[in-house]
């Protein structure tokens, strides 16, 4: 039989063993807590990296304005502020020489404007009477005199009468209504071309009127009206602005969207230019 002394020693050893076990258990719990915390931080960090990679991913994808990334529907842009007309860094002289060399067969009978000096001063009022509503324009000779001269020439020749605006884009980054092709297919022109009137720093935005083209210095008769955003390189000649009434008409067309859906195509609301006037 164990003596009292032996029992006391056994009790001491048991207590010491329990203390060691408790200390090891507490240390293990602390290690697990640290591991869990580190794991959480790593997971959160990886998630953040994943979110960063997803949100910063990108893809690059007749006369045309360039296409933007596709979107399902087009927004109603009525009420957005317009942008001011761009300003040339150096003003043009009072007149400039313009040339309009032949370029293919005209889609509708018309002669080119006469080559030679044209005014680079003042503005010209123009109106497109369309089936969707009136579109009032102001053409700026100081910004693009050769373009304004050609546009007024085509208007006065009746070239735009009875033609339709064949393209509406409602994608973010490119929101325009494009017109000026008698074929309605985006491939037609007046049978002549003329040089770009662009400059470094040229930007685009709601309310501006610009020329469509098929590459450098291939301007003809097709033009586009910007009713929203237009993230474009400075390759498209801006030659005027759209008035309040005109923007209301284009906004309504944009709100109706593209025929058959999508973000780029024939407007669901037909826009036929019945008559155009200028001067």
pLDDT in tens, 14-44: 444 444 444 444 444 433 333 333 333 333 3
Q: What H or E segment, with its residue span, contains residue 249?
A: helix 244-256
Q: How much is the pTM?
A: 0.75
**Tens digits of residue pLDDT in 176-200:** 999 999 999 999 999 999 999 999 9
Minimum mean pLDDT range among 4-18, 134-148, 198-212, 257-271: 4-18
Residue 80 confidence (pLDDT): 83
Task: Delimit the domains of the chain by residue range.
Answer: 1-57, 95-278
Q: How many residues does the chain have?
A: 279
162: left (phi > 0), else alpha (psi -120 to 50), else beta? left
pLDDT value at position 65? Answer: 60
How far apart are alpha carbons 245 and 133 in whole angstroms? 9
pLDDT 10s digits, 67-87: 543 333 344 455 689 999 999
Rounded Cα gap, residues 103 and 100, in angstroms: 9
CATH fold of 95-278, please? Cyclophilin (2.40.100)
Residues 135, 276: Cα–Cα separation, whole Å: 9
Please choose, from the candidates 122, 121, 194, 187, the residue with its C-alpha nearest in 3D space to the C-alpha of residue 151.
194
- Examine the pLDDT at 207 and tell me if it is beyond 70: yes
């Amino acid at each position: 039989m164990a003596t009292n002394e032996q029992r006391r020693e056994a009790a001491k050893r048991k207590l010491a063993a329990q203390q060691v076990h408790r200390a090891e258990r507490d240390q293990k719990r602390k290690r697990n807590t640290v591991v869990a915390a580190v794991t959480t931080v790593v997971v959160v960090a990886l998630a953040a990296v994943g979110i960063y990679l997803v949100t910063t991913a990108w893809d690059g994808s007749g006369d045309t304005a360039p296409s933007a990334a596709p979107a399902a529907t087009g927004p109603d842009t009525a009420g957005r502020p317009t942008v001011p007309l761009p300003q040339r860094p150096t003003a043009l002289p009072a007149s400039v020489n313009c040339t309009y060399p032949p370029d293919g067969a005209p889609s509708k009978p018309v002669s080119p404007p006469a080559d030679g000096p044209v005014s680079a001063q003042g503005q010209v009022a123009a109106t497109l009477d369309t089936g969707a509503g009136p579109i009032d324009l102001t053409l700026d000779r100081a910004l693009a005199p050769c373009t304004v001269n050609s546009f007024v020439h085509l208007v006065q020749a009746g070239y735009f009468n009875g033609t339709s605006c064949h393209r509406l884009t409602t994608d973010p980054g490119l929101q325009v209504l494009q017109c000026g092709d008698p074929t309605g297919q985006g491939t037609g022109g007046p049978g002549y071309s003329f040089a770009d009137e662009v400059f470094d720093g040229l930007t685009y935005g709601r309310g501006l009127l610009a020329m469509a083209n098929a590459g450098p210095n291939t301007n003809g008769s097709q033009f586009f009206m910007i009713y929203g955003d237009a993230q474009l390189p400075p390759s498209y000649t801006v030659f005027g602005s759209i008035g309040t009434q005109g923007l209301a008409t284009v906004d309504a067309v944009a709100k109706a969207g593209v025929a058959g859906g999508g973000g780029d195509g024939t407007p669901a609301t037909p826009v036929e230019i019945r008559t155009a006037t200028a001067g």
